[in-house]
Amino acid sequence: MISRAAGALVALAVLAALAWGCSRQPEVVLYTSCDDYLLREVIPAFEAKAGVRVRVVGDTESTKTTGLVQRVLAERDRPRADVWWSNEPFGTIRLDGEGLLARPARPIAGGADRAAWLIGPEGRWHGFALRSRAIVYNTKRVQDPPRDEATLSDPAWRGRIGMARPQFGTTRGLLGHLWHTMGREGFEGWARGMKANGVRVFDGNSAVVRAVAEGVVDVGLTDSDDVHAGIREGWPVAMVVGEASLLIPNTAGLVRGGPNSASGATLLEFLLGEEVERMLARSDSRTMPARLGLAEEFADNALPARPADLAAVAGSADAALASWEAIMGR
């Protein structure tokens, strides 16, 4: 028999547990490849506004989105993430193709103010805050920079080119873009030219910009936000972005079966709102807003590149990478 005192202690413990459960702050799990300096502004703003704690799971600079994609795939039978936020679209498109992104229960606010190519099937993912692939060059060593990626296969650039590992991130997307626009024959001719030119491979796009700034190479394939970061540091770098350059939106969506679906929907709407797009546009990354209504406000961030068929680019990436690795011998 339980004593009166013991019974009272049990009752207090139960009441304490119930009180803790009722007062516990709701949370949401975010898988993201977004840079830390941006998360430090966006996440606290959401937590203060929504009263929801965010658990952030990221990845390394060298593997970026690719590592997180593999994690979501591995967790498909028991999802741990609620929201997916990638700084590129190609991993997002793969997850959607695997049936791992969910259609929001209600339309995302402001969706009509976003171009159709930035909205995935049934609204399962949305693009926002665009960057671009770019050619970075050392302003002290290069007076006449290459105007596009195809130019880099010219022997004039032998021993002078750098790029990030193409197995990961936006460089993988670039290969898919070039395969899609050049065709197989054109792409493989370009890849053979890059091999002949001794292209050097670095661990990430920011490392490419640093290598260019330090004169390790004269030009490199990278992302526009990494060049902006180098310019902010006072490095002797500038970039070329042409109409044929690949536009790269951030993308976000709900993970199907996530453990905190209500909080996940709240976070997704926040990420796709004007407040976050303004934050990213004003940040050092200087992204171009996807919301048409913000285009004039951030006209200085405009990129000359044209919209891309993201699904076609994503669908070309595997073939392009396999061809690249066969030509490079690695």
Residue 2 lies in a domain: no
Angle between helices 90-97 and 169-196 (to 10 degrees): 120
Residue 4 lies in a domain: no
**Angle 221-166-300 from CA coordinates, rounded to 5°:** 35
Residue 107 lies in a domain: yes
On whether both 238 and 136 belong to a single domain, the answer is yes
Residue 1 lies in a domain: no
On whether both 203 and 321 belong to a single domain, the answer is yes
On whether both 22 and 125 belong to a single domain, the answer is yes
**What total number of domains does the chain contain?**
2
* Closest C-alpha to 71, from 56, 85, 90, 58: 58
State which H helix or E strand residue 242 sits in.
Answer: none
Residue 3 lies in a domain: no
pLDDT at 114: 81
pLDDT at 107: 79
* Three-state SS at 81: coil
- In angstroms, rounded to a whole number, what is the distance separating the alpha carbons of residues 53 and 56? 10
On whether both 90 and 53 belong to a single domain, the answer is yes
- In angstroms, rounded to a whole number, what is the distance separating the alpha carbons of residues 281 and 285? 7
Q: Which residues contact 307 (CB under 8 A, 6 or more apart)?
A: 115, 117, 247
What is the domain-level CATH number for residue 72? 3.40.190.10
pLDDT at 61: 53
Q: Which residues make beta-bridge pairs with 222?
A: 134
Q: Which residues make beta-bridge pairs with 53?
A: 27
Which residue range forms the structural domain that includes residue 85? Answer: 17-130+249-302
- In angstroms, rounded to a whole number, what is the distance separating the alpha carbons of residues 130 and 67? 22
On whether both 87 and 139 belong to a single domain, the answer is no
Residue 75 lies in a domain: yes
pLDDT at 318: 95
pLDDT tens, residue order, the chain (330 aa): 444 444 444 454 444 444 444 447 899 999 999 999 999 999 999 999 999 999 999 976 555 577 899 999 999 999 999 999 999 999 999 999 999 999 998 877 656 678 889 999 999 999 999 999 999 999 999 999 999 999 999 999 999 999 999 998 899 999 999 999 999 999 999 999 999 999 999 999 999 999 999 999 999 999 999 999 999 999 999 999 999 999 999 999 999 999 999 999 999 999 999 999 999 999 999 999 999 889 889 999 999 999 999 999 999 999 999 999 999 996
pLDDT at 25: 81
pLDDT at 18: 46
- In angstroms, rounded to a whole number, what is the distance separating the alpha carbons of residues 269 and 261? 12
On whether both 199 and 322 belong to a single domain, the answer is yes
- In angstroms, rounded to a whole number, what is the distance separating the alpha carbons of residues 252 and 229? 23
Which token pair is 231? 């310019």
On whether both 217 and 177 belong to a single domain, the answer is yes
The answer to whether 19 and 265 have CB atoms below 8 angstroms apart is no
On whether both 157 and 219 belong to a single domain, the answer is yes
pLDDT at 59: 77
On whether both 142 and 200 belong to a single domain, the answer is yes
**By 3-state DSSP, what share of the chain in percent is helix, strand and coil, each rounded to 5?**
50, 20, 35
Write the DSSP symbol of residue 319. H
* Closest C-alpha to 240, from 133, 157, 88, 87: 133
pLDDT at 63: 55
Residue 307 lies in a domain: no
On whether both 235 and 285 belong to a single domain, the answer is no
Q: Which residues contact 183 (CB under 8 A, 6 or more apart)?
A: none
DSSP states of 37-71: HHHHHHHHHHHHHH--EEEEE---TTTHHHHHHHH
On whether both 29 and 83 belong to a single domain, the answer is yes
Pairing of strands 247-255, 101-102: antiparallel
Residue 95 lies in a domain: yes
Identify the burial level of 278 via C-beta atoms within 10 angstroms of its C-beta, where 0-12 means exposed, 13-18 middle and 19 or more buried. middle
On whether both 25 and 126 belong to a single domain, the answer is yes
pLDDT at 168: 85
C-alpha 278 chain-centroid distance? 17
